[in-house]
Chain A
C-alpha cells in the first residue's frame, strides 16, 4: 500500500520528480564521465609506455638487472623467443642485447643504453620503425648503423649520417668503443627513447661485446586485454632459472602515477557525491515542506510517523530507480562513443605529446565501474532522503493543515 502511495505521489508533481530524477541522471553521468576521462589519461600513458618501450613482459637472466653486467645473458634466447611466438595471447617477441655506456660525438658526451635489436621483431613489438622522423630503418648504411632519439641527436649535435662513438665494458671487462653511423632519427613520447636509447643491429654489437650469448632481454608484447600473468606463470614454470617480470615490476613509476591519480579521483568523486547529495536534499526538502498540508492530512487520518517516513524514502528510491539506469545509459553511451573516437585535446595544450601523452585521449572504463557507480549513486540518493523524511515526521498535523 505504502509503495502504491509513494509511486502515485511521484507522478502527482511531475516537475519536482523530474528535477530529482535529473539530478540523479547528472550524478551518475558525472561519475562515469569523470572516472572514464581520468582513466583515459592514465591508461593511454601506460599503453604508450607498454606498446613502445617496455612491453608487457620482459625476461632476463636473474642477475642482469642488478648491474646490467653483459656477462649475464639469457641462455638460448632466440630459441625461447621462437617458442613464445606461438603461445596463445602473445602478439610479438623480440630479443635484445643491452649495455649501458657512454655515447660521444665530436662535441659532446652523454649516457646511453645501447640496445642491440633484431630489427624485424623489434618493429612488431615496439614499432620503433613507425617513430622515424628522418632517415631509414637500418637501410642505406652497411657498416654499424645506429638509430637514436631526436633529443639525443640534439644533445650530441649530430645529424643523419654523422658518426658517433659508443663506449662500454665488454665481456672481458675491458672498456671498448665502436664507431656507428646514424641511419635514422626517431621521436616518441617516451623520454627514454628520445634521450637514452641507441638502437643498433644485434649482430654488430654481439661482435663488439665479445660474449657467446644471443641476448640479454626478451620483450613480449601480449594481445590487448590479455591477462599477462597467464604467460608469466607459464613461462616461469617452464624456465624457472630465468626471471620474467611484468610491466608493473619493470616500471613501478607507472603504478605510482596510477596511485596518485586514483587518490585524486577518489577525492574528486567524493566532492561530486557531496554536491549530488546536497542537490537532492534541497529539492526533497522543499518538496516535503511544500507538501506539508498533504502530509498533515495523511497523519491526521491515521498514517503513523514510521509510515510517513518510509513513504518519503520509498519515493526517493523510486526516483533513483528511474534516474540511475538512464544516467548509466547516457554515461555508457558517452564513454563508448569517445572510447572509439577519442577526445582531441590538442586545442588545450600545445605540447601534450612532448610530455609523454598523446593528444587524443581515449576515455576508458572497466565494466566493474558501472555497477559500483550505480550503487553509489543509489545509496547517495537514499542518504539524501533521510533528512527530508525526518523533517516530514516532525510536522505537527494540525499546524500543517492550517498553513497554506
Chain B
C-alpha cells in the first residue's frame, strides 16, 4: 500500500519529481566528470613514464635497484629471456646496460649516462627513433653512438665528430673508448636531454667489460593492472637470491607519490564540488517539502500516522535517488567513453608552455569502473542524508498550521 502511494505521489506531480531527479542526476554526472578527469591525468602520467621509459616491470640482479652499479649486472642467458617472453601478458623484454661515464670533446667534459640498448627492442619500448633530430639510428653491431641534443651542444659536437668516453667498467676495470657520433636526439625532459648517450648493447658490453651481462630487462606488458600478477609469476620462477623483479610502483616511487599528492588536491576539489552539489540538492528537497506542506497536513489530519507518512516520503526519496543515480551513470558513461577515446586538446600559450616539456597538453579522461561506483555511492549517500530533512519536517509538522500556511 505504502509503495503504491509513494509511486502515485511521484507520478501525480511529474514536474516536481523530474526536477528532483534531475538535480541528483546532474550531481552524479558532474562528480563523475570531475573524478574522471583527475584519474585520467594520473593514468596518462603512469602510462607516459612506464610505457616510454622504465617499462612496467624490470628485472635486475638482486640488489641492483638499491645500488645501481655495473658490478650488479646479471648474465643475459637465453633461457631467462625465453621464460620471460613466454609469460602470459608480456609483450617484449628490452635489455639494457646503463652506467655513468665522462664524455669529452676538445677541451669540454661532461658527465653522461651511457645506455647500451638493442636498437630494435629499445625503439619498440621508448620510441627512441622518433626522438632523432639529425643523423641515423643505431644498428645492432654499431660502433658509433647517438647523443642527446643538450649534451651535443655543451660539447659543441655534431654528426661525424668523435668523442671520448671515460668511465669505470665492470669490477673496477677502467672503461675508455672513442666513438663517432651517428645521430642526435632531442628529449623533452631536460635532465635526459643534457646527459644521455646511446650505444648498441654489444658495444656497451664491450666498453664496460661486461661480457654478456645486462643491467636490466624492461618488460612491456599488455595491461598496467596485470603488473602485480606478472611480477609474482616471474618472481616465482627465478632465484630471488640472484634476480629481483620490480613493478612500476617500486620503479617510480616519485611518480606514485606525485600522484598521491596531486590526488589530495583532487579530492579537496571533489569535496568542494560535493558541498555545492549538496546545497543544490538540499534546496530542491527543501522546496519540495515546503510545496507539499498542505498535502502533509491533510494526510495527517485525516488520520495517517506520521510514521507511515515518513515511510512514504523515504520510499519516494529512495526511488528517485536510485533512478537518478542510475541515470547519472548512464549519461556520464557514453560521454566519458567518448572523451576517453578522444582527449580534449588544449591550445594557446599555456599549451605551448606545457608541450615544451614533452607532455601532451590535453585533458584525459579515465573510465575506471570504480570511479563510477564511488561517485554514484557518494551522491546516493548524500541524497539519503539530505532526505532526512523532509522526514524531520513531518515529525515536527502541525497539521492545522500546515494546512493554513501551505494553502
Interface residues of A (CB under 8 A from B): 13, 15-16, 19-20, 22-23, 26-27, 30, 33-34, 37-38, 41, 66-69, 100-102, 107-112, 157, 167-169, 173, 175, 252-253, 255-256, 259-260, 262-264, 267-268, 271-272, 274-276, 278-280, 282-283, 285-287, 289-290, 345, 348-349, 351-352, 354-355, 357, 404
Contacts and interface: CB of A to CB of B under 8 A. Distances in A.
Contacts of B22: 278, 282
Contacts of A289: 15
A110 B111 contact: yes
B128 interface: no
Contacts of B26: 275, 278
Given A34-B272, A112-B111, A268-B269, 17 more contacts: A16-B287, A16-B290, A26-B279, A67-B154, A69-B108, A102-B100, A102-B111, A111-B111, A169-B107, A169-B108, A256-B353, A264-B41, A275-B273, A275-B276, A278-B23, A283-B284, A355-B254
13 contacts: A67-B154, A167-B102, A168-B109, A253-B190, A259-B350, A260-B354, A263-B350, A271-B33, A272-B273, A275-B27, A279-B277, A287-B287, A349-B257
B153 A67 contact: yes
Contacts of B361: 263
Contact of B109 (A33, A41, A175, A259): A175
B134 interface: no
Nearest to B41: A264
A276 B23 contact: no
Interface residues of B, number: 65
Majority DSSP secondary structure for residues of B touching A: helix
A20 B283 contact: yes
B37 interface: yes
A172 B201 CA distance: 36
Contacts of B350: 259, 262-263
Tell me the dominant secondary structure on chain A's binding face: helix
A252 B356 contact: yes
A38 B266 CA distance: 9
B268 interface: yes
A109 B265 CA distance: 38
B347 to A, nearest CB: 11
B258 interface: yes
B283 A283 contact: yes
Given A111-B100, A263-B350, A267-B363, A19 B282 contact: yes
A68 B154 contact: yes
5 closest Cβ pairs, A-B complex:
A279-B280, A173-B107, A111-B111, A286-B287, A19-B283
A351 B254 CA distance: 10
A19 B287 contact: yes
A333 B190 CA distance: 42
Given A100-B110, A275-B277, A15 B102 contact: no
